[in-house]
Amino acid sequence: SPLLKLQGLSASVGDKPILHDIDLAIGAHETHVMMGPNGAGKSTLGHVIMGDPEYSVTSGTVTFDGQDITDLSPDKRSRAGLFLSFQAPVEIPGVPLSSFLRATVEGREGFNMKGKEFRKHVRELAKSLDFDPAYLDRELGVGFSGGEKKKLEMLQLLLLKPKLAILDETDSGLDVDALGVVSRGIQEYRKTCDGTLIIITHNTRILEHVDVDRVHVMVKGHLVHEDDAALIADIDAHGFERFEQAATPKA
């Protein structure tokens, strides 16, 4: 049975329906890509899978690792092995990154490491990603570049080792540095955690070095198409127009 299964999932913000009758199955250790035009509902899907209270599930179910998690809190989902990358980390001047990362895993199973041991572990993770360990002493303050934000996300990913990671990549503002960081993080997560991925993106350059199992297309809150990795090149060449036309109800 799949690691993640959405069945007839619909969700709203307030009175506004956004996701409609979503069926989706993600097998363990697979890499899926979620594509679609701006405003299609891709980020909302990620938030709903994580249980973000901003959105309400109006029908359907979310099953993860054999458990119905439709009503589970975001924290419990995270502890169950779900991870959603966030695009804007908090800014806490004076707090070094290493301390922030420590707080991320505080109280979690398997993280009763002493301070020194923990710092060593994080330094090793940073090295495996080709990050300068000096980065860990940076304060979690203002002025992070896109690449530096991405480094934090990728360190959290490798630290938490989630069973399923949802990476929601902004469609704009990923410079070459940030692209490299994400691409490196994905490869390391696949290699060392044998993890499962949902990559939400327009930016097919992120996917150049990633083995993709399935590609899903979302339009106007509906999943309208699904195919193998060849679909990425097709969308690169032809865009979403044919899917958008199919999704427009006849007047």
Residue choice 26, 36, 64, 101 for contact with ligand ADP (CB under 6 A)? 36
Of 80, 53, 75, 52, nearest in space to 64 by CA: 80
Residue with tokens 């799949």: 2
58 binds Mg ion (CB under 5 A): no
- 81: its two tokens: 């092995």
Length of the chain: 251
Report what 19 binds from Mg ion, ligand ADP, none; CB cut-off 5-8 Å by kind.
none
Residue choice 31, 43, 85, 201 for contact with ligand ADP (CB under 6 A)? 43
Residues 114-143 contacting Mg ion, CB under 5 A: none
**Interface pattern 46-85 for ligand ADP (x via CB under 6 A):** --------x-------------------------------
C-alpha–C-alpha distance, residues 135 and 156, integer Å: 14
Residue 15 CB, shortest distance to ligand ADP, in Å, is 10
Of 183, 153, 184, nearest in space to 84 by CA: 153
Name the strands in the sheet holding 67-68, side by side, starting at the edge strand that comes first in the sequence.
16-26, 4-13, 56-64, 67-68
Stretch that binds ligand ADP, among 40-48, 80-88, 112-120, 127-135 (CB under 6 A): 40-48
Q: Say if CB 66 and CB 29 are below 8 A apart.
A: no
Residue 147 CB, shortest distance to ligand ADP, in Å, is 22
Stretch that binds Mg ion, among 31-39, 59-67, 132-140, 149-157 (CB under 5 A): 31-39
Residue choice 31, 43, 156, 201 for contact with Mg ion (CB under 5 A)? 43
Residue with tokens 């480094």: 151
38 binds Mg ion (CB under 5 A): yes
Q: How far is CA 173 from CA 140, 145, 168, 206, in A?
A: 20, 10, 13, 13
- Given the rule CB under 6 A, which residues bind ligand ADP? 13, 16, 18, 36, 38-44, 54
